[in-house]
Amino acid sequence: MNVSRETWARLDAYVALLDKWQATTNLVAPSTLEAVWTRHVADSAQIMTLAPAHATVWVDFGSGAGFPGLVVAALRPDIRVHLVESNGKKAAFLREAARAMGVEALVHGARAEAIAGSAVTSADVVSARALAPLADLVRLAAPLLKTGAVGLFPKGREAEAELTVTAKSWNVEASLHPSLTEPDARIVRIDRFLGPR
């Protein structure tokens, strides 16, 4: 990643805090912690290339340890990032990490169903990583997608099959993009939401 010294400092503070909290709170799979920079940070950063350049509001569902939401906040501090996480311990970590990084990220300690369309009525981007099958993500994100948000959902090797299943319930215009960090993985970009079938 080619980023400024300030951005590296934000990311360093984030990863250091993640490492510290991981000892008492299960934020990421322990087997992935040694490869945190590629497995989590770079994997999250790559979706920025698919986001609209004009994005000013980003909503991340099931933020967990902050991937991709806090990475977005580190890379683009001009974007207002909403982190949605119902687990109290993880929400506390997100608040502390945002403070340590010096980024403006609003943490919603609630489920996605309670936030989309109520606490957050519009967004430029909605994302979720390792939260639910694509059809469920589209359902959760529908209130934001129908107001023009772009959906960015990193998926594994079954992304195409998930998109096929999603198309049975939802009328969306979507595209698949190769992951730069995992050869078999794809990122689903929902460009247009036309409602349920």
pLDDT at 88: 97
pTM of the model: 0.95
Annotated binding site for S-adenosyl-L-methionine: which residue ranges? 62, 67, 112-113, 129
The CA–CA distances, whole Å, from 168 to 138, 155, 163, 179 equal 12, 18, 9, 25
Structure tokens given for 53: 């350049």
pLDDT at 1: 67
Instruction: Give the range of the structural domain holding residue 176, as residue numbers without chain letter.
Output: 5-196
| Count of structural domains within the chain | 1
**CA pair distance 19, 103, nearest whole angstrom:** 19
Q: Which CATH number does the domain housing residue 73 bear?
A: 3.40.50.150
pLDDT at 119: 86
List the chain residues with pLDDT less than 50: none
Give the pLDDT confidence of 104-147 residue by residue, as tens digits: 899 999 999 999 888 899 999 999 998 999 999 999 999 999 99
pLDDT at 117: 81
What are the residues facing 113 on neighbouring strands? Answer: none
Annotated binding site: which residue ranges? 62, 67, 112-113, 129
The residue type at 66:
G
